[in-house]
Copies of this chain bind each other. A is one copy, B any other.
Amino acid sequence: MLDVIDHPPGIRELRLARPPVNALNAELLRALVGAVKAAAGQGAMVMTGQPGLFSAGLDVRGMLALDRDGVSEVFVELWRVQHAIAHSPVPVVFGITGHCPAGGTVMAIHADYRVMAQGDFRLGLNEVQVGLFPGGVIHGAFRRLTGGHSPQLLTRGALIDPATALRVGLVDELCDAAHVATRALEVARELCALPRDAMLRTRSLVRKDLMEMFGNPGHALMKEREFATMGAEAWFAPATQELLRRMFEKR
Protein backbone atom coordinates (compact mmCIF):
# COMPACT_ATOMS: atom_id res chain seq x y z
CA MET A 1 0.00 0.00 0.00
CA LEU A 2 2.82 2.37 0.93
CA ASP A 3 6.48 1.43 0.53
CA VAL A 4 8.83 3.22 2.85
CA ILE A 5 12.41 3.27 1.58
CA ASP A 6 15.35 4.96 3.29
CA HIS A 7 18.11 6.42 1.15
CA PRO A 8 21.36 7.84 2.45
CA PRO A 9 21.86 10.43 3.80
CA GLY A 10 18.63 10.46 5.74
CA ILE A 11 16.13 10.73 2.93
CA ARG A 12 12.91 8.79 3.35
CA GLU A 13 10.98 7.89 0.24
CA LEU A 14 7.25 7.23 0.61
CA ARG A 15 6.25 5.32 -2.50
CA LEU A 16 2.54 4.92 -3.15
CA ALA A 17 1.91 1.25 -3.86
CA ARG A 18 -1.78 0.51 -4.04
CA PRO A 19 -2.47 -1.12 -7.42
CA PRO A 20 -3.85 -0.55 -9.87
CA VAL A 21 -3.84 3.28 -9.69
CA ASN A 22 -2.70 4.24 -6.17
CA ALA A 23 -6.21 5.44 -5.39
CA LEU A 24 -6.39 7.20 -2.04
CA ASN A 25 -8.69 5.55 0.51
CA ALA A 26 -8.86 6.12 4.27
CA GLU A 27 -6.35 3.36 4.93
CA LEU A 28 -3.71 4.65 2.52
CA LEU A 29 -4.23 8.25 3.64
CA ARG A 30 -3.87 7.17 7.27
CA ALA A 31 -0.67 5.33 6.41
CA LEU A 32 0.59 8.47 4.69
CA VAL A 33 -0.22 10.70 7.68
CA GLY A 34 1.66 8.31 9.94
CA ALA A 35 4.61 7.99 7.59
CA VAL A 36 4.92 11.75 7.05
CA LYS A 37 4.92 12.33 10.80
CA ALA A 38 7.37 9.49 11.39
CA ALA A 39 9.79 11.05 8.90
CA ALA A 40 10.17 14.18 11.03
CA GLY A 41 13.60 13.05 12.19
CA GLN A 42 14.91 12.48 8.67
CA GLY A 43 16.82 14.95 6.54
CA ALA A 44 14.10 15.17 3.93
CA MET A 45 11.16 13.24 2.52
CA VAL A 46 10.22 12.26 -1.02
CA MET A 47 6.82 11.08 -2.19
CA THR A 48 6.63 9.05 -5.38
CA GLY A 49 4.58 6.49 -7.31
CA GLN A 50 5.58 4.20 -10.14
CA PRO A 51 6.97 5.48 -13.47
CA GLY A 52 3.93 6.58 -15.46
CA LEU A 53 1.63 6.43 -12.43
CA PHE A 54 1.37 8.66 -9.39
CA SER A 55 -2.18 8.53 -8.07
CA ALA A 56 -5.66 8.65 -9.54
CA GLY A 57 -6.80 10.73 -6.55
CA LEU A 58 -9.48 9.68 -4.10
CA ASP A 59 -10.68 6.09 -4.44
CA VAL A 60 -14.06 7.09 -5.84
CA ARG A 61 -15.14 3.53 -6.60
CA GLY A 62 -14.45 2.47 -3.02
CA MET A 63 -16.05 5.57 -1.57
CA LEU A 64 -19.29 4.97 -3.48
CA ALA A 65 -19.76 1.90 -1.26
CA LEU A 66 -19.28 3.88 1.97
CA ASP A 67 -21.88 5.48 4.20
CA ARG A 68 -21.66 9.06 5.45
CA ASP A 69 -19.32 8.17 8.31
CA GLY A 70 -17.02 6.29 5.97
CA VAL A 71 -16.89 9.16 3.51
CA SER A 72 -16.32 11.68 6.32
CA GLU A 73 -13.44 9.55 7.49
CA VAL A 74 -11.78 9.75 4.07
CA PHE A 75 -12.07 13.54 4.12
CA VAL A 76 -10.71 13.68 7.68
CA GLU A 77 -7.66 11.73 6.56
CA LEU A 78 -7.28 13.86 3.40
CA TRP A 79 -7.24 16.92 5.63
CA ARG A 80 -4.72 15.33 7.97
CA VAL A 81 -2.32 14.38 5.21
CA GLN A 82 -2.41 17.96 3.91
CA HIS A 83 -1.79 19.22 7.43
CA ALA A 84 1.04 16.76 7.97
CA ILE A 85 2.81 17.68 4.72
CA ALA A 86 2.34 21.41 5.27
CA HIS A 87 3.64 21.18 8.83
CA SER A 88 6.45 18.72 8.16
CA PRO A 89 9.56 19.97 9.96
CA VAL A 90 11.68 18.62 7.10
CA PRO A 91 11.45 19.41 3.37
CA VAL A 92 9.04 17.36 1.29
CA VAL A 93 9.77 16.77 -2.40
CA PHE A 94 7.10 15.30 -4.65
CA GLY A 95 8.18 13.09 -7.51
CA ILE A 96 4.99 13.15 -9.56
CA THR A 97 5.66 10.11 -11.68
CA GLY A 98 2.46 10.26 -13.76
CA HIS A 99 -1.20 11.28 -13.57
CA CYS A 100 -1.95 13.32 -10.47
CA PRO A 101 -5.52 14.68 -10.55
CA ALA A 102 -7.59 15.95 -7.61
CA GLY A 103 -6.39 14.25 -4.39
CA GLY A 104 -2.87 13.89 -5.76
CA THR A 105 -2.64 17.60 -6.50
CA VAL A 106 -4.25 18.40 -3.14
CA MET A 107 -1.28 16.73 -1.44
CA ALA A 108 1.40 18.07 -3.78
CA ILE A 109 0.58 21.77 -3.33
CA HIS A 110 1.66 21.60 0.31
CA ALA A 111 5.13 20.24 -0.50
CA ASP A 112 8.37 22.18 -0.92
CA TYR A 113 9.16 21.12 -4.48
CA ARG A 114 7.48 19.22 -7.28
CA VAL A 115 9.21 17.25 -10.05
CA MET A 116 6.70 16.16 -12.70
CA ALA A 117 6.86 13.52 -15.43
CA GLN A 118 6.65 14.98 -18.90
CA GLY A 119 4.40 13.31 -21.43
CA ASP A 120 0.72 12.56 -21.66
CA PHE A 121 -0.08 13.04 -17.99
CA ARG A 122 -2.48 15.40 -16.25
CA LEU A 123 -2.73 17.13 -12.92
CA GLY A 124 -4.89 19.80 -11.37
CA LEU A 125 -7.84 20.39 -9.09
CA ASN A 126 -10.71 19.02 -11.16
CA GLU A 127 -13.04 18.38 -8.22
CA VAL A 128 -15.58 20.85 -9.60
CA GLN A 129 -16.14 18.51 -12.54
CA VAL A 130 -17.88 16.01 -10.26
CA GLY A 131 -19.68 18.55 -8.12
CA LEU A 132 -17.11 19.00 -5.39
CA PHE A 133 -15.25 22.24 -4.70
CA PRO A 134 -12.04 23.33 -3.02
CA GLY A 135 -12.23 24.77 0.50
CA GLY A 136 -10.29 27.77 1.74
CA VAL A 137 -7.03 25.97 2.51
CA ILE A 138 -6.84 24.10 -0.80
CA HIS A 139 -7.70 27.30 -2.65
CA GLY A 140 -5.07 29.22 -0.72
CA ALA A 141 -2.33 26.63 -1.17
CA PHE A 142 -3.09 26.31 -4.89
CA ARG A 143 -3.15 30.05 -5.44
CA ARG A 144 0.07 30.46 -3.45
CA LEU A 145 1.81 28.51 -6.23
CA THR A 146 -0.14 29.48 -9.35
CA GLY A 147 -1.01 33.13 -8.60
CA GLY A 148 -3.03 34.81 -11.35
CA HIS A 149 -3.59 31.52 -13.17
CA SER A 150 -5.45 30.12 -10.19
CA PRO A 151 -8.93 31.64 -10.66
CA GLN A 152 -9.51 30.31 -14.18
CA LEU A 153 -7.93 26.91 -13.43
CA LEU A 154 -10.15 26.35 -10.41
CA THR A 155 -13.35 27.66 -11.97
CA ARG A 156 -12.88 25.32 -14.93
CA GLY A 157 -11.75 22.41 -12.76
CA ALA A 158 -8.92 22.20 -15.25
CA LEU A 159 -6.66 19.20 -15.65
CA ILE A 160 -3.48 20.46 -17.29
CA ASP A 161 -0.49 18.88 -18.99
CA PRO A 162 3.02 19.02 -17.51
CA ALA A 163 4.23 21.89 -19.73
CA THR A 164 1.27 24.05 -18.72
CA ALA A 165 1.77 23.06 -15.08
CA LEU A 166 5.35 24.29 -15.28
CA ARG A 167 4.26 27.55 -16.92
CA VAL A 168 1.63 28.32 -14.29
CA GLY A 169 3.86 27.31 -11.35
CA LEU A 170 1.98 24.19 -10.28
CA VAL A 171 5.15 22.12 -10.69
CA ASP A 172 8.76 23.25 -10.50
CA GLU A 173 10.54 20.99 -12.95
CA LEU A 174 9.85 18.34 -15.60
CA CYS A 175 11.75 15.19 -16.49
CA ASP A 176 11.18 11.76 -18.07
CA ALA A 177 8.74 9.60 -16.13
CA ALA A 178 11.47 6.99 -15.65
CA HIS A 179 13.72 9.51 -13.89
CA VAL A 180 11.25 11.46 -11.76
CA ALA A 181 11.96 9.54 -8.56
CA THR A 182 15.71 9.77 -9.08
CA ARG A 183 15.49 13.49 -9.72
CA ALA A 184 13.23 14.06 -6.70
CA LEU A 185 15.74 12.21 -4.54
CA GLU A 186 18.50 14.37 -5.98
CA VAL A 187 16.63 17.57 -5.04
CA ALA A 188 16.13 16.15 -1.55
CA ARG A 189 19.84 15.36 -1.37
CA GLU A 190 20.71 18.92 -2.38
CA LEU A 191 18.40 20.26 0.33
CA CYS A 192 20.09 17.99 2.88
CA ALA A 193 23.51 19.22 1.80
CA LEU A 194 22.65 22.82 2.69
CA PRO A 195 23.64 24.29 6.07
CA ARG A 196 20.77 22.92 8.12
CA ASP A 197 19.92 25.92 10.28
CA ALA A 198 19.98 28.42 7.44
CA MET A 199 17.88 26.17 5.21
CA LEU A 200 15.27 25.45 7.87
CA ARG A 201 15.11 29.10 8.87
CA THR A 202 14.59 30.18 5.28
CA ARG A 203 12.04 27.42 4.82
CA SER A 204 10.06 28.63 7.85
CA LEU A 205 10.04 32.16 6.48
CA VAL A 206 8.76 31.17 3.04
CA ARG A 207 6.15 28.72 4.36
CA LYS A 208 4.73 31.00 7.04
CA ASP A 209 1.82 31.99 4.78
CA LEU A 210 1.00 28.34 4.08
CA MET A 211 1.00 27.45 7.79
CA GLU A 212 -1.28 30.37 8.59
CA MET A 213 -3.89 29.04 6.19
CA PHE A 214 -4.46 26.14 8.57
CA GLY A 215 -5.08 28.54 11.44
CA ASN A 216 -3.68 28.22 14.92
CA PRO A 217 -3.62 24.82 16.65
CA GLY A 218 -6.75 25.75 18.62
CA HIS A 219 -8.71 26.00 15.40
CA ALA A 220 -7.17 22.96 13.78
CA LEU A 221 -9.71 20.42 14.94
CA MET A 222 -12.60 22.71 14.07
CA LYS A 223 -11.24 23.19 10.56
CA GLU A 224 -10.74 19.45 10.14
CA ARG A 225 -14.36 18.78 11.05
CA GLU A 226 -15.58 21.54 8.80
CA PHE A 227 -13.59 20.11 5.88
CA ALA A 228 -14.96 16.60 6.48
CA THR A 229 -18.54 17.79 6.93
CA MET A 230 -18.52 19.91 3.82
CA GLY A 231 -16.78 17.21 1.83
CA ALA A 232 -19.31 14.54 2.83
CA GLU A 233 -22.22 16.88 2.21
CA ALA A 234 -21.05 17.68 -1.31
CA TRP A 235 -20.28 14.00 -1.88
CA PHE A 236 -23.81 12.87 -1.08
CA ALA A 237 -25.55 15.63 -3.00
CA PRO A 238 -27.73 13.85 -5.59
CA ALA A 239 -26.08 15.64 -8.52
CA THR A 240 -22.60 14.60 -7.33
CA GLN A 241 -23.65 11.03 -6.77
CA GLU A 242 -25.04 10.83 -10.27
CA LEU A 243 -21.85 12.25 -11.78
CA LEU A 244 -19.62 9.95 -9.77
CA ARG A 245 -21.61 6.87 -10.72
CA ARG A 246 -21.78 7.88 -14.38
CA MET A 247 -17.98 8.26 -14.29
CA PHE A 248 -17.64 4.57 -13.50
CA GLU A 249 -20.23 3.34 -15.88
CA LYS A 250 -18.26 5.03 -18.67
CA ARG A 251 -15.03 3.25 -17.82
- Residue interface bits A175-215, CB-to-B below 8 A is 1, else 0: 00000000000010011001101110111011100100000
- Residue interface bits A128-165, CB-to-B below 8 A is 1, else 0: 11111110100100011111111110111100000000
Contact status B202-A155, CB under 8 Å: yes
Contact status B206-A157, CB under 8 Å: no
Q: Interface size bucket, A side?
A: 35 or more
Partner of A201, one of B133, B147, B190, B205: B133
**Mostly helix, strand, loop or mixed at chain A's interface?**
helix
Chain B: CB-nearest residue to A127: B198
- Can you tell how many copies of this chain the complex includes? 3
- Asked whether A243 is an interface residue with its Cβ less than 8 Å from the other chain, the reply is yes
A-B residue pairs, 9 tightest by C-beta: A151-B206, A145-B148, A131-B195, A148-B169, A147-B147, A133-B202, A131-B198, A155-B203, A128-B198
* Chain A residues engaging chain B, CB cutoff 8 angstroms: 91, 112-113, 127-134, 136, 139, 143-152, 154-157, 167, 169, 172, 187, 190-191, 194-195, 197-199, 201-203, 205-207, 210, 234, 237, 239-240, 243
